[in-house]
Amino acid sequence: MAFQRIVVIGGGVMGQGISRVVAATGTEVTLVEQNEELAKRAMEGIGEHMDREIEKWGLTSSEKKAILSRITPKWDVKEAAKVRMVIESIQEDIEAKKALFRRLDEICKPNTVLVTNTSTLSITEIAAASNRPDKVIGMHFLNPVEKIPLAEVVRGLKTSDETFTTIKQFASELGKTVISVSEYPGYVTTRIIVPMLNEAMHVLMEGIAEAEDIDTAIKLGFGLNIGPLSLADRMGLDEVMSWMENLLKELSEHKYNPCPLLRKMVRAGHLGVKTGRGFFKYDEEGNRIREERIDELKTL
């Protein structure tokens, strides 16, 4: 691995997953959050996720111990001054990301590569907030990071060939199949999946079929291992709506206009697996509670 230590900024679901995958390769990770409490929660989240895998024989206790030993929680962005690569994984908000990249540009050494895990926003616009646009690049992972064997490496307008080659190699060393993407809103994965999720929500809202039947039809009809509504629940309905709104803003195409049912569910706080309720219900470990139907969806 070319990098002995990297910094990951943002300890949400994606930041936790990225930290874990990088640490599993033997690379040291500093996971930076806004404060000590959030940093502690991020570490607990990583541990709890691995505990569930251990219960299912997908991981050993020694592997968990080794991975956690390589992740150090911190709550000061100045940690970025100590490394040659920083991966940003904060909320999907362009102004927040630009503000962070301006700060990183001040803190980091001139040769430090700045990576964003954004799924819909412009790499070029984020890079423009720094004085090193040649060293800014997108590396879009999908959730769950440790299981999805794909990474989209996205070049901004001024991303250098050296930066692109370095990050493409890094993603490959993480065990990911890398696809090269020229910057465009939504890249490949998000742009294609969002209309399908949105249309499935419209089918449900219009009363054409129940949520379970919609997912069954798409899984069996097209050979997928998860249905669109279950997938949206896993992604987080607030995140899905944010992607749609960003794509709608960038492309002005109606197919990205969030379904009214999705808007209502987000406003009600029904965000999917992470809140225990979305299009389906889930227990505290994120397992589907199959015997329950959410008839209230019709009245949202």
**Euclidean distance between CA atoms 59 and 52, whole angstroms:** 9
d(CA 73, CA 91): 19
Q: Give the pLDDT score at 295.
A: 56
Residue type, 298: K
The confidence score (pLDDT) of residue 1 equals: 55
What's the angle, vertex CA 73, arms to CA 129 and CA 135, rounded to 5? 25
Query: Do 136 and 101 form a contact (C-beta atoms < 8 A)?
Result: yes
- Of 126, 129, 141, 227, the C-alpha closest to 176 is 141
Please tell me the distance from the alpha carbon of residue 67 to that of residue 25, in angstroms, as a whole number.
9
pLDDT of residue 298: 53
Q: What is the pLDDT of residues 218-241, one digit of tens each?
A: 999 999 999 999 999 999 999 999
Q: What is the CA radius of gyration of the chain?
A: 19
Residue with tokens 């809103």: 185
Domains for the chain: give ranges and CATH numbers. Answer: 5-182 (3.40.50.720), 190-294 (1.10.1040.10)
Question: How far from chain centre, in Å, is Cα 286?
Answer: 17
Q: What is the rounded CA–CA span in Å between residue 67 and residue 24? A: 5
DSSP secondary structure string, 125-151? HHHTTSS-GGGEEEEEE-SSTTT--EE
Gap between the Cα atoms of 121 and 101, Å rounded: 14
Place of tokens 């899905």: 240
Question: To 10 degrees, what angle do helices 13-24 and 36-55 make?
Answer: 60
- pLDDT given for residue 294 in this prediction: 53
pLDDT on residue 63:
95
13's tokens:
């679901």
For residue 88, give the amino acid letter.
Answer: E
Q: What share of the chain is helix, strand, coil (3-state, %, to 5)?
A: 50, 15, 35
Tell me what pLDDT residue 143 has: 87
Rounded Cα gap, residues 250 and 246, in angstroms = 6
Nearest to 240 by CA among 258, 226, 267: 258
Residue type, 22: V
d(CA 19, CA 131): 26
- The residues of the chain scoring below 70 in pLDDT are 1, 291-300
pLDDT of residue 297: 57
Amino acid identity for residue 123 in this structure = I
The rounded distance, in Å, linking the Cα atoms of 85 and 177 is 20
CA distance 19 to 46: 9
Contact by Cβ (8 Å): 227, 214: yes
